[in-house]
């Protein structure tokens, strides 16, 4: 496996690998506690039932594997059932936020940047089908502990995740593509836009938007992520989501670095000419 280096910047402050893993570990423990309180059974990496205290005593690697295996054992339908009341509370919160906000006005924005050596933009793009549920529906669990359900559709994704490490999870349909919420940077090769994010329960637009910019460089890349929340969203959501993205994309970049293929080289030869 080739060496790679990931520099993570939140508000200009660098997070080390240890910092990112500590954030991830805190959210793993949070989900362990939530699942137990909601009546879910925890299992270890081998599928053996364990108590909450045993789960909380695990080291980072074992805890991450145990949570992944727990979600696999429970399955999407059981997870949706366990969190049913939490999802209803979240829907109520987002309806209130949307009612007090105007799309695109006085937004609360989350930005985070990565500088990467040893993993190219082509490598990253080539890895995306494997991370998506089209390849393995369990792989999203490896990317972030607060990803619960991820179902790919033709024009977007159905996702159940906790936004901004705030409250409980939300069940959304996130439409891919859409109008760019702001102009892209001149050195951006590829920009991915998340259009409308709507509640699964009633198709209401929660007014969350996103645009991620990818910039190719020799033997690496730069990434600039942006998630835009509506004006009435609590400040804690926008702040917390920076660290959600830090964990999510650190793991995605690392996965791309660990699964390099010839496809990445082919994409690199194309992507350097892109300005999308």
Q: Which two tokens stand for residue 234?
A: 């609590």
Q: Domains of the chain by range and CATH?
A: 5-271 (3.30.530.20)
More confident residue, 275 or 155: 155
CB 204 within 8 A of CB 98: yes
Confidence of residue 136 (pLDDT cuts 50, 70, 90): low
Q: Read off φ and ψ for residue 229, nearest 5 degrees.
A: -105, 155
Average pLDDT over residues 147-176: 92
d(CA 169, CA 157): 15
Which pTM was predicted?
0.92
For residue 123, the model assigns a pLDDT of 93
d(CA 273, CA 276): 10
d(CA 21, CA 155): 32
For residue 132, the model assigns a pLDDT of 62
Q: Percent of the chain beyond pLDDT 70?
A: 95
Average pLDDT over residues 15-35: 98
Q: Percent of the chain beyond pLDDT 90?
A: 76
Average pLDDT over residues 120-129: 89
Q: Which two tokens stand for residue 25?
A: 């570990």
Confidence of residue 128 (pLDDT cuts 50, 70, 90): confident
Q: Which two tokens stand for residue 158?
A: 């159905």
Backbone dihedral region of 223: left (phi > 0), alpha (psi from -120 to 50 degrees) or beta?
beta
Min mean pLDDT across 34-43, 111-120, 191-200, 213-222 is at: 191-200
How many Cα atoms occupy the beta-carbon half-sphere of 59 within 13 Å?
1
- Cα dist from 67 to 25, 82, 242, 275, whole Å: 11, 15, 22, 39
Confidence of residue 275 (pLDDT cuts 50, 70, 90): low
Under DSSP, the state recorded for 4 is -
């Amino acid at each position: 496996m080739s060496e790679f280096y990931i520099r993570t910047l939140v508000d200009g402050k660098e997070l080390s690998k240890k910092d990112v893993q500590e954030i991830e570990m805190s959210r793993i423990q949070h989900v362990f506690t939530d699942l137990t309180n909601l009546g879910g059974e925890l299992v270890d990496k081998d599928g053996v039932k364990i108590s909450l205290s045993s789960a909380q005593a695990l080291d980072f690697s074992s805890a991450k594997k145990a949570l992944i295996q727990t979600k696999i054992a429970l399955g999407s339908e059981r997870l949706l059932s366990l969190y049913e009341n939490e999802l209803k509370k979240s829907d109520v919160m987002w309806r209130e936020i949307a009612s007090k906000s105007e799309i695109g006005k006085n937004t609360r924005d989350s930005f985070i940047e990565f500088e990467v050596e040893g993993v190219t933009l082509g490598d990253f793009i080539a890895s995306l089908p494997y991370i998506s549920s089209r390849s393995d529906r369990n792989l999203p669990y490896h990317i972030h502990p607060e990803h619960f359900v991820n179902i790919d559709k033709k024009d977007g994704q159905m996702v159940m995740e906790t936004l901004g490490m705030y409250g409980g999870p939300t069940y959304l349909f996130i439409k891919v593509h859409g109008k760019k919420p702001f102009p892209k940077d001149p050195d951006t090769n590829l920009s991915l836009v998340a259009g409308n994010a709507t509640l699964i329960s009633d198709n209401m637009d929660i007014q969350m938007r996103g645009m991620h910019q990818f910039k190719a460089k020799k033997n690496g890349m730069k990434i600039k992520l942006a998630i835009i929340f509506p004006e009435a969203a609590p400040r804690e959501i926008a702040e917390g989501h920076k660290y959600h993205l830090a964990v999510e994309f650190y793991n995605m970049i690392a996965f791309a670095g660990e699964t390099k293929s010839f496809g990445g080289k082919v994409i690199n030869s194309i992507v350097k000419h892109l300005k999308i």
